[in-house]
């Protein structure tokens, strides 16, 4: 029996793993104990999170009383601009310097940047070691910590270098959201809204009704939003782990959003902010194609705005800038840009079936304000 309020499973055969959701889970020692392999642990975190939650994790590990347990820590600089191979090399340096072997467990303590880099370090170190995700931002709790995507950015494209490497478990302590800046909370809500748009229209309607409470971090509302988001992603990942089909739908808004992040410089626009703007643009194009109604488009726009997300991309970005970056995207096939668009609210598809003229109109200005 655990202290988790909810437990989900990502069903991937012998690589299946649980997602624990609850309040105060950082102090639940046995939850960590059952997922640590061997007698070596490396905690990877950043300088912001270290001051908030590293002492708690170290205390929890100490309380396990594992004979001969070696616990090491590497504290990285905070921010998307540090998500590159040079930073990951610092993790590998520490693992080698402290002589961590193949039974070590890496614990990713932080947001999506830390989770992606620690996971990639785990995937590559001695050709793969175990790791645990402890996400501390809403965005990482509902999206990046689940599904095994790990990696880093390149100057020419976001998340273009990486590996699929599933964690041993995901431990979501909802109390960590109490220290999350309002801007980061809004960024996380972008990924929550995404699930309603691509797969669960009833969840989208629930978000419309409860957005104020979510922004206020009302406990039962935020817990439900995290659970529903993780359940949706777990289902999709179980069906398509390596993104050969259905999993690509999770990138709704991301092709536009990644273009914004790459052009503006990683970290200047938060990932969730860029995704929010990207979802608005994808919805706009879907409406121009006659797939969703103007009334549905306006609902999407209102919810994004109510969540504190940018309504559109940067003013300085023109169509040619978007197109240049969108050509460097994992969904491009034989030079053809493919986008995730909405056939209807709650039903998304991957398609290149849109006219270039309509795409240019979407870049030009939104249909409604």
pLDDT digit string, tens, across residues 79-126: 999 999 999 999 999 999 999 999 999 999 999 999 999 999 999 999
Interacting residues of 216 by C-beta distance below 8 A, sequence separation 6+: none
Inform me whether the pLDDT recorded for 10 exceeds 80: yes
Torsion sign, CA atoms 104, 13, 151, 44: negative
- The verdict on whether 65 is a catalytic residue reads no
What is the mean predicted confidence (pLDDT) over 263-281?
Answer: 95
Confidence of residue 330 (pLDDT cuts 50, 70, 90): low
- The verdict on whether 191 is a catalytic residue reads yes
The CA R_g of the chain, rounded to the nearest whole Å, is 20
Domain ranges of the chain: 6-179, 182-364
- The verdict on whether 127 is a catalytic residue reads yes
Of 165, 194, 224, 258, catalytic:
258
- The verdict on whether 130 is a catalytic residue reads no
As a whole number of angstroms, the distance between CA 348 and CA 340 comes to 6
- The verdict on whether 254 is a catalytic residue reads yes
Are 226 and 172 a contacting pair, CB within 8 Å?
A: yes
What is the mean predicted confidence (pLDDT) over 193-209?
Answer: 98
Of 158, 251, 325, 338, catalytic:
251
pLDDT for 94: 98
What is the mean predicted confidence (pLDDT) over 312-337?
Answer: 85
Burial of residue 99 (number of CB atoms within 10 Å: 0-12, 13-18, 19+): exposed
Confidence of residue 1 (pLDDT cuts 50, 70, 90): very low
Of residues 135 and 316, the one with the higher pLDDT is 135
Pick from 108, 46, 52: which is nearest to 80 by CA? Answer: 46
Helix (H, G, I), strand (E, B) or coil at 62: helix
- The verdict on whether 258 is a catalytic residue reads yes
Domain 182-364, what architecture? Up-down Bundle (1.20)
Rounded to the nearest integer, the mean pLDDT of the chain is: 94
Of 254, 288, 325, 338, catalytic:
254
Inform me whether the pLDDT recorded for 282 exceeds 50: yes
Inform me whether the pLDDT recorded for 2 exceeds 60: no
Tokens found for residue 208 = 């419309």
Are 283 and 335 a contacting pair, CB within 8 Å?
A: no
Quick: pLDDT tens for 175-199: 999 999 999 999 999 999 999 999 9
As a whole number of angstroms, the distance between CA 144 and CA 147 comes to 7
Confidence of residue 344 (pLDDT cuts 50, 70, 90): very high
Confidence of residue 27 (pLDDT cuts 50, 70, 90): very high
Residue 165's φ and ψ, nearest 5 degrees, are -150, 110
- List, as one string, the DSSP characters of 202-255: HHHHHHHHHHHHHHTT-HHHHHHHHHHHHHHHHHHHHH-TT-SSGGGGGGTTHH
Of 35, 165, 194, 247, catalytic:
247
Quick: pLDDT tens for 65-85: 889 999 999 999 999 999 999
Are 38 and 27 a contacting pair, CB within 8 Å?
A: no
- The verdict on whether 251 is a catalytic residue reads yes
Of 80, 191, 241, 273, catalytic:
191
pLDDT for 207: 98
Q: Enter the DSSP assignment of 65.
A: -
- The verdict on whether 39 is a catalytic residue reads no
pLDDT for 270: 95
**Which CATH code, of 3.40.50.1970, 2.60.40.1180, 1.10.3720.10, 3.40.710.10, is assigned to 6-179?**
3.40.50.1970
- List, as one string, the DSSP characters of 91-156: HHHHHHHTT--TT-EEEEEESHHHHHHHHHHHHHGGG--EEEEEE-SHHIIIIITSS-EEEEEETT
Helix (H, G, I), strand (E, B) or coil at 44: strand
What is the mean predicted confidence (pLDDT) over 137-156?
Answer: 95
pLDDT for 36: 95
Of 35, 194, 224, 271, catalytic:
271
């Amino acid at each position: 029996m655990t202290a988790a309020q909810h437990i989900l499973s990502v069903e991937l055969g012998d690589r299946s793993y649980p997602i624990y959701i609850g309040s105060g889970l950082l102090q639940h020692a046995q939850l960590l104990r059952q997922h640590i392999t061997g007698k070596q642990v490396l905690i990877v975190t950043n300088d912001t999170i270290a001051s908030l939650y590293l002492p708690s994790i170290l205390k929890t590990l100490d309380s396990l009383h594992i004979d001969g347990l070696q616990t090491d820590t590497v504290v990285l600089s905070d921010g998307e601009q540090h998500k590159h191979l040079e930073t990951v090399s610092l993790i590998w340096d520490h693992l080698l310097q402290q002589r961590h072997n193949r039974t070590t467990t890496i614990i990713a303590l932080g947001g999506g940047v830390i989770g992606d880099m620690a996971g990639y370090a785990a995937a590559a170190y001695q050709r793969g070691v175990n790791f645990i995700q402890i996400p501390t931002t809403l965005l990482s709790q509902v999206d990046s910590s689940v599904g095994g995507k790990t990696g880093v950015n390149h100057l020419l494209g976001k998340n273009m270098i990486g590996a699929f490497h599933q964690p041993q478990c995901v431990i979501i302590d909802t109390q960590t959201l109490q220290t999350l800046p309002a801007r980061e909370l809004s960024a996380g809500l972008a990924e929550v809204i995404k699930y309603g748009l691509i797969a669960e229209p009833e969840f989208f309607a629930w978000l419309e009704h409860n957005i104020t409470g979510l922004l206020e971090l009302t406990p039962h509302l935020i817990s439900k939003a995290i659970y529903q988001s993780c359940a949706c992603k777990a289902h999709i990942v179980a069906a398509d782990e390596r993104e050969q089909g259905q999993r690509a739908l999770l990138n709704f808004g991301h092709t536009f959003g990644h273009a914004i992040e790459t052009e503006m410089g990683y970290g200047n626009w938060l990932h969730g902010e860029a995704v929010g703007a990207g979802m608005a643009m994808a919805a706009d194009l879907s409406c121009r194609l006659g797939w969703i109604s103007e009334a549905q488009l306006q609902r999407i726009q209102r919810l994004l705005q109510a969540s504190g997300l940018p309504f559109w991309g940067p003013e300085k970005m023109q169509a040619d800038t978007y197109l240049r970056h969108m050509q460097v995207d994992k969904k491009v096939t034989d030079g053809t840009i493919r986008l995730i668009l909405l056939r209807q609210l709650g039903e998304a598809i991957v398609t290149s079936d849109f006219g270039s003229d309509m795409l240019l109109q979407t870049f030009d200005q939104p249909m409604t304000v």
